[in-house]
A = this chain, B = another copy of it.
């Protein structure tokens, strides 16, 4: 499939008033995505409003299939229900949809892509799923280690930021932190419980097996993206009072012997990853530094005490809105463009 002229595709961002949609526009501009036109869509409620963007003042349009169908690529940052209804209609009209929801991630015929790992899966798909934020941030570190050592078991615990619940989540954390400091009490509407100075071991809905859907996403999506359908991976997902960077502990058991020094060398050459691992100098991944960055920080790399020379333990931290969402979506668009562009 080679369909775009070199003058660049027309790009739509759908759901542009949300935290992820806004970052999609920023990332397109920052990475100089060679678009010929950018159109911004949201619900009827926001239509006609002006949005200040990296591209200057832009007017938000009301979403309609016909309007978006005038574009070549649509980045969707909307609910799963909305995506399920409209992405197929757009795809039928020739638009390549890159969807940030979980609506299509588990469909066998729809690629789920992290460009550092499985760009080849894009193929000629019209709907491409963008992974769960926690999965994307973890998988860029897991993949090079899998290539070197072979993953056998993966055990994950997460420290997830408020931004996973969107702009409303970030605002609730900040507003309720103020309330808590002033009155000793915080309220909650977006989150299941008050988040400031607390944590909540509950993200997305509970499944029959006792895991949350968020936790199962990390298992299901890691398997699909890395092409390891039987990978043994479990996760506990916990919301903590940080703003927009997710952190995760990971313990891996490997098929072949591994060493921390070698793993550091491997990861320091890996795309999308930055080794931040100098404990003596108090240097390790933290939301304070990883927020606003494209690369996922990896550190605290050490030989795991339980699995010995066939095990590693480490800590990752990445921006939930960037590698966890908007950046990865734009990177997918870059892969699409590269694979489908013809000379003018």
* A268-279 to B contact mask, C-beta < 8 Å, 1/0: 000000000001
Q: Which residues on B sit within 8 Å (CB–CB) of A285?
A: 201
A249 touches B232 (CB 8 A): no
Tell me whether A189 is interfacial, beta carbon within 8 Å. no
Q: A210-B260, A243-B197, A288-B198 are in contact. Are A249 and B236 (CB under 8 A)?
A: yes
- In A94-131, which residues have CB < 8 Å from any B CB? none
Closest CB-CB distance, A163 to chain B, in whole Å? 11
Decide if A242 is an interface residue (CB 8 Å cutoff). Answer: yes
| Contacts A192-B282, A247-B201, A288-B198 given; does A305 touch B242 at CB 8 Å | no
Q: Is A286 an interface residue (CB 8 A)?
A: yes
Is A174 close to B, CB under 8 A? Answer: yes
CB of A198 within 8 A of CB of B233, answer no
A306-B233 contact given A155-B155, A159-B238, A200-B286, CB 8 Å threshold: yes
Contact B211 A305 (CB under 8 A): yes
A236 touches B300 (CB 8 A): yes
> In the complex, what residues of B have CB within 8 A of residue A249's CB?
157, 201, 236, 238
Could you say which residues of chain B place their CB within 8 Å of the CB of A241?
197, 240-242
Asked if residues B159 and A300 are in contact (CB atoms below 8 Å), the reply is no
Residue A181 CB within 8 A of the other chain: yes
Q: Is the CB of A313 within 8 A of B236?
A: yes
A234-B251, A286-B193 as given contacts; A305 in contact with B219, CB under 8 Å? yes
Decide if the interface of chain A is mainly helix, strand, loop or mixed.
mixed
Please judge, given known A-B contacts A157-B157, A305-B219, whether A193 and B236 are in contact too, CB under 8 Å: no
Select which of B219, B288, B300 is within 8 A of A194 by beta carbon: B288
Inter-chain contacts of A153 with B (CB < 8 A): 306
Copies of this chain in its oligomeric complex: 2
**In the assembly, what is the distance between CA of A260 and CA of B285, in Å?**
34
Q: Which residues of B contact A219 (CB under 8 A)?
A: 305
Could you say which interface size class chain A belongs to? 35 or more
- Over the window 227-238 of chain A, the binary record of Cβ atoms lying under 8 Å from chain B Cβ atoms (1 yes, 0 no) is 000001110101
A155 touches B251 (CB 8 A): yes
Residues of B within 8 A of A209 (CB): 302-303, 305
Does A287 have its Cβ within 8 Å of any Cβ on chain B? yes
Extra inter-chain contacts (9) besides given A233-B306, A240-B241, CB under 8 Å: A157-B249, A159-B199, A197-B242, A199-B242, A201-B284, A202-B284, A233-B305, A236-B249, A240-B240
Residues of A within 8 A of B (CB): 153-155, 157, 159, 173-174, 177-178, 181, 192-194, 197-202, 206, 209-211, 219, 232-234, 236, 238, 240-243, 247, 249, 251, 260, 279-280, 282, 284-288, 299-306, 313, 315
Name 30 A/B residue pairs within 8 A (Cβ), A-sorted: A153-B306, A154-B306, A155-B251, A157-B157, A157-B249, A159-B199, A159-B238, A177-B197, A181-B181, A193-B286, A194-B288, A197-B241, A197-B287, A198-B242, A198-B287, A198-B288, A201-B249, A201-B284, A201-B286, A202-B282, A202-B284, A210-B302, A210-B303, A211-B302, A232-B305, A234-B305, A236-B315, A240-B240, A240-B241, A241-B241
